[in-house]
Amino acid sequence: MSKRVKRERAFDLAHIESNLEQKRLHLQWQKLGIRYLDLHEKRCQHRCDHNLLLGHDMVQGHLAFGSIGLPAMIEEHDLKLFCHLNSQHSNCLHDCGFIVQFNANDFVCKKFYTQMINLMPCYKHALPTLRRVCGAQQCGPYTYVDKTIVGYAHRCRLLICDIKCTSDVLIQQCGNRFGQKAAQFLMNYTNQQVSFWMQDSNLRDTVPPSCSRLFCHKSDIRHCFL
């Protein structure tokens, strides 16, 4: 009887050790699987981003809007190509397993594409003056800032400067009616840009005063920053 008990205990102990070994191996395989997935996703994302950058080399744009992130294309075919590349990039990231919750370029490429096309003649006409009097020489330098309240406050001060300078030039070069529309379109995009920053940084309850000034809906945009 005693021998039987000892054998059963020995068997139970071996069984427990075997289970522990299986669990250990299972955890190792899980970790390896997670590392593989992470590596696969990073490589996949890199491929998507690389293809996007290669495509952007074929798009003619400008930097005259300064810190305003609106896609700044010169011709309609450039905007069309830009939006096509943007859509391809989103689809590529989706195929990699990412969920694209927000794409700032959708403001132009999906929501207000026709309006952007209608305003491009004004932007193109004002471009030489914008390059000469606005941008980095007026509002810069544009440097990287941290994703903090202080950092976002600085970003918004740059945006205010760029909006003021750009709006004055657009109204001067395109006439009050058309220039106001072109300036307001930039302002509307900037509203979205700042809203995205606040959501991304979890600062919804602490919006810097300089950022609050960008949520202005006066009929004359120049009155927003007096």
Is 54 in contact with 99 (CB distance < 8 Å)? no
Residue 94's CB is within 10 A of a number of other CB atoms, namely 12
pLDDT at 25: 55
The pTM of the whole model exceeds 0.85:
no
Burial-class residue 186 by CB neighbours within 10 Å (0-12, 13-18, 19+): buried
Instruction: Give the pLDDT of residue 8.
Output: 47
Partnered with residue 73 across adjacent β-strands are: 61
**Cis peptide before 141, with omega less than 30 degrees from 0?**
yes
Say what the pLDDT of residue 37 is: 58
Number of domains composing the chain: 1
pLDDT in tens, the chain (226 residues): 434 344 444 445 444 455 555 666 555 555 555 454 567 778 888 899 999 999 888 998 888 999 998 988 889 999 999 999 999 999 998 888 888 777 888 999 999 999 999 999 999 999 999 999 998 889 988 888 888 888 888 999 999 999 999 999 999 999 999 999 999 999 999 998 888 877 766 666 678 888 888 888 888 888 888 7
Looking at residue 97, its pLDDT comes to: 86
Q: Which domain holds residue 171?
A: 3-23+30-223
Predicted confidence at residue 6, as pLDDT, reads 43
The pLDDT of residue 2 is: 38
